[in-house]
A and B are shown apart, each in its own frame.
Chain A
């Protein structure tokens, strides 16, 4: 019923600059699909093209197999939640929620029934007579969601809906939106610049940069096997540690002193970029240690500690479980081994080989 396809979709302004260049994508029914990218990447433009608010310059947009390029927003049978919620300031919560149904001339009794259901579902029962300015940020957000829910459209588009909320509320609403999507079986296209939102909510994620698709896949794949340097550094917090390195005599030279022996890895290039996730720089005992690194800064997060080391001209960040009493200047023994390293081509920035071992996979499976 609510399947979206894009074939070579393009957007240009004034026939000059390519904002979006040849987007091919399929979003299946009932999927939570996240478009993520930095500002200016074209993700909101793509969403607005799906909504029909932005003209499509080239290519085909299909819904349920039918081309909808020419259809007006109201004929596409979808709902949308805007970043600033787009609530009508002069109307009450009830009038805001019913605005669309009223415009579509849905019968009074049906309106009332759907209003009650939606208000119940979104916990807005006591706020129906209030105006938007009398609501808190989280409540406004709920009204905006209620407007999407009440329309009963099978496709819902959301444009950075959580970016105006504080961190705590954002975490809560992430869960609520996810729950709502599953409960209603919505096909949800969700735009965000926040990779945490993308990772935590999406069934599948598309990373967009400068109008081009960087990678499409489920969150774990994006994290473990980023297609290129952009995706690698965009997905994951703290950022993946990246350093230029050289290969010589089966040794990986990160700096002249810091080298990692390569036993099982064959690399076609002499020079490349090495990436290692923060959790893969592991603390080691005297026996297991392979290297010693100098501490630059220590950040305590309570349950874990984020430690920055100096590696050549770069800084590497490690994340260790527990509370580590370290000072700047300390030398710490760590274990750095080849199976945790990802390799990228320094010229094309494409992935050559992903890390072979991921976050303590075996242990997770054992539990």
Chain B
């Protein structure tokens, strides 16, 4: 009798396991179906190009980009002894250091101002975020006029104060700085908007409670606003960081990497290598190095940042 029961239970377990497996497969396939559009898009525009770039970086190519000779790691070795690539690494790092803190600090300041409840504050919010709607190309043209050595407003303003004119985009000492300023201006819109959103999502009761407790403006800023904003700040810093590493448009428009490679950031150097020197293999190797660099730095950022960010 007992044997019969055990047997039937085992038999049931088998059936049950089978049914469970089928259900799992079913829900897996269903999930896959939902992901299909993204998987397709990512494959075409991200995974395939990445694989192709890695592949190309081991080859020499002809002008059309077709592979000719397999060279292994030779492209990478060449890069590390190339003074031009080293220069472009240095320039990229400097560019990041110039633009990221500047963008964040100015945007945070503007966001704090625009977060106050004042009449007509909407106008200022629109103005401060407006650069988000301007394309890099249009903004570069606009800045090109400002930087123009003779008719540019910047030099004309300097002239009224009796200061010698500056070769904003032509002087090797100034070019990177000028490009950085225009980049900061272009990035402010996006950063401002995200930070303002972060500020607005902070519970107003916290401020009211602090008001009753007798906290002043800067005390509230230091003890409430900045800690509560830290997840947003962290996001904005990470995104700006990655964007700064990938800058191309304004360099291409304003300086074309010059003068004396002073603004030749990595992405611009990739572009030059691939589409002007037709060395797709070397360009791919640079792209891979940039990818690894950003990956590493972002990873480090997350490790350092996590401790200081207060997620709710």
Contacts and interface: CB of A to CB of B under 8 A. Distances in A.
Interface string A61-104: 00000000000111000111010101011110000000110011
A78 B228 CA distance: 25
Nearest to B228: A90
Contact of A88 (B206, B208, B211, B212): B206
A78 B211 CA distance: 11
A88 B224 contact: yes
A54 to B, nearest CB: 10
Contact of A72 (B209, B211, B224, B228): B211
Contacts of B216: 103
A103 B206 CA distance: 14
B54 interface: no
A169 interface: no
Contact of A99 (B205, B215, B227): B215
Contacts of B223: 88, 91, 99
B205 A100 contact: no
Interface in A1-17: none
Contact of B212 (A73, A89, A91, A133): A73
B203 A73 contact: no
B212 A80 contact: yes
Contacts of A91: 223, 227
B310 A100 contact: no
B290 interface: no
A151 interface: yes
Contacts of A147: 209, 213
Contact of A79 (B208, B212, B312): B212
Interface residues of A, number: 23
A51 interface: yes
Interface string B74-97: 000000000000000000000000
Contact of B208 (A53, A78, A100): A53
B192 to A, nearest CB: 23
A100 B211 contact: no
A91 B230 CA distance: 13
B68 to A, nearest CB: 58
Interface string B278-312: 00000000000000000000000000000000101
Contacts of A86: 203, 205-206, 208-209
B210 interface: yes
Contact of B310 (A52, A53, A90, A104): A90
A281 to B, nearest CB: 45
Contacts of A100: 210, 212-215
A276 to B, nearest CB: 43
A314 B34 CA distance: 55
B214 A84 contact: no
A54 B29 CA distance: 56
A71 B164 CA distance: 54
B215 A103 contact: yes
The interface residues of chain B, by DSSP majority, are classed as helix
A90 B205 contact: no
B141 to A, nearest CB: 44
Interface string B211-241: 1111110010001100110100000000000
Contacts of B211: 52-53, 72-74
Interface in A34-56: 51-53
Given A86-B205, A90-B310, A51 B214 contact: no
Contact of A51 (B212, B215, B219): B212
A82 B213 contact: no
B203 A103 contact: no
B180 to A, nearest CB: 33
Contacts of B206: 86, 88
Contact of B227 (A82, A90, A103): A90
A151 B206 CA distance: 16
A100 B208 CA distance: 12
A61 to B, nearest CB: 15
A103 B219 contact: yes
A80 B213 CA distance: 9
Contacts of A78: 212
A100 B224 CA distance: 12
- Which of B205, B215, B228, B310 has the most CB atoms of chain A within a 10 A radius of its CB? B205
Interface in A86-128: 86, 88-91, 99-100, 103-104
Contacts of A90: 227-228, 230, 310
Nearest to B224: A88
B212 to A, nearest CB: 5
A104 B212 contact: no
B232 to A, nearest CB: 13
A53 B227 CA distance: 23
Contacts of B209: 80, 82, 86, 147
A299 B208 CA distance: 45
Interface string B15-41: 000000000000000000000000000
Contacts of A74: 211-215
Nearest to A103: B215
Interface string A345-364: 00000000000000000000
- Which of B203, B211, B214 has the most CB atoms of chain A within a 10 A radius of its CB? B214
A86 B220 CA distance: 14
Interface in A152-167: none
- Which of A52, A89, A133, A147 has the most CB atoms of chain B within a 10 A radius of its CB? A89
Contacts of A80: 208-209, 212
Contacts of B230: 90
Contacts of A99: 210, 213, 215, 223
- The 6 A-B residue pairs whose C-beta atoms are closest, nearest first, are A100-B213, A74-B214, A90-B310, A86-B205, A103-B215, A86-B209
Interface of B: 203, 205-206, 208-216, 219, 223-224, 227-228, 230, 310, 312
10 contacts: A51-B212, A72-B211, A82-B205, A84-B205, A86-B203, A86-B205, A86-B208, A88-B206, A90-B228, A103-B215
Given A51-B212, A53-B208, 6 more contacts: A80-B208, A82-B205, A86-B205, A86-B206, A90-B310, A99-B223
